[in-house]
């Protein structure tokens, strides 16, 4: 298969498997999504979803979050890991949203990425899922699968994002990146990967990777 043929097959098959793509992180607006995505760095979505109810009960707006101390935030989010960085980042960007953006999460990659603890992937998730702006956030699942499928060279997440955007139609990005994540979690994990279960990779994957795979 050519890359274009692989892309067409993937979009059709992933749409069949995952016609609905609910965002895995519990939230109800752009700010709660932003906080949840920051907390998800090197932490599972499931664990984040056990922490955010307590956090958002105390502070679910930039003003409420900025009113908490860094220590109060840290105590609640500790199970998510990277506590010092995340607690300081959440506190600081909450104040920045108040000071620079009239209390509203900005719908701009540049403004989001200027905030502490907000990298390009986090900004991409917020832009795509909160504001509907086409983006292709690349997490570990997408990076892994795009390489397994022979659609990128695997050298960096930046290259994977560039290759994905070149390959898939722009109007599919926001849904497709979630569909790939769902497939990676269910069928093509980093550990315990089998050709029998991962039928998409068995069909279109790199021959060198599949050669010794059961």
Instruction: Give the residue numbers annotated as catalytic, written as ranges.
Output: 121, 139
Cα separation of 53 and 118, whole Å?
Answer: 21
Q: Where are the beta strands (DSSP E) in 66-149?
A: none
Name the residue among 45, 42, 7, 34 with its Cα closest to residue 181.
45
Cα separation of 52 and 58, whole Å?
Answer: 10
Burial of 173 (0-12, 13-18, 19+ CB in 10 A): buried
Cα separation of 198 and 186, whole Å?
Answer: 9
Cα separation of 23 and 55, whole Å?
Answer: 19
Cα separation of 159 and 144, whole Å?
Answer: 12
């Amino acid at each position: 298969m050519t890359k274009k043929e692989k892309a067409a097959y993937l979009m059709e098959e992933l749409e069949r498997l995952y016609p609905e793509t609910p965002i895995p992180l519990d939230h109800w607006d752009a700010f709660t999504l932003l906080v949840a995505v920051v907390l998800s760095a090197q932490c599972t979505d499931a664990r984040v979803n056990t922490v955010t109810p307590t956090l958002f009960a105390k502070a679910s707006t930039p003003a409420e979050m900025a009113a908490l101390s860094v220590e109060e935030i840290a105590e609640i989010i500790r199970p998510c890991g990277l506590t010092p960085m995340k607690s300081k980042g959440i506190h600081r960007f909450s104040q920045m949203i108040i000071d620079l953006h009239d209390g509203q999460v900005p719908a701009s990659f540049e403004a989001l990425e200027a905030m502490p603890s907000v990298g390009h992937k986090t900004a991409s998730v917020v832009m795509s899922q909160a504001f509907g702006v086409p983006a292709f956030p690349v997490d570990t699942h997408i990076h892994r699968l795009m390489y397994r499928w022979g659609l990128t060279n695997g050298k960096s997440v930046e290259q994977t994002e560039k290759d994905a955007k070149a390959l898939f139609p722009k109007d599919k990005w926001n849904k497709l990146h979630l569909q790939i994540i769902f497939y990676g979690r269910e069928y093509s994990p980093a550990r315990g990967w089998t050709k029998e279960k991962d039928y998409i990779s068995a069909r279109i994957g790199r021959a060198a990777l599949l050669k010794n795979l059961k």
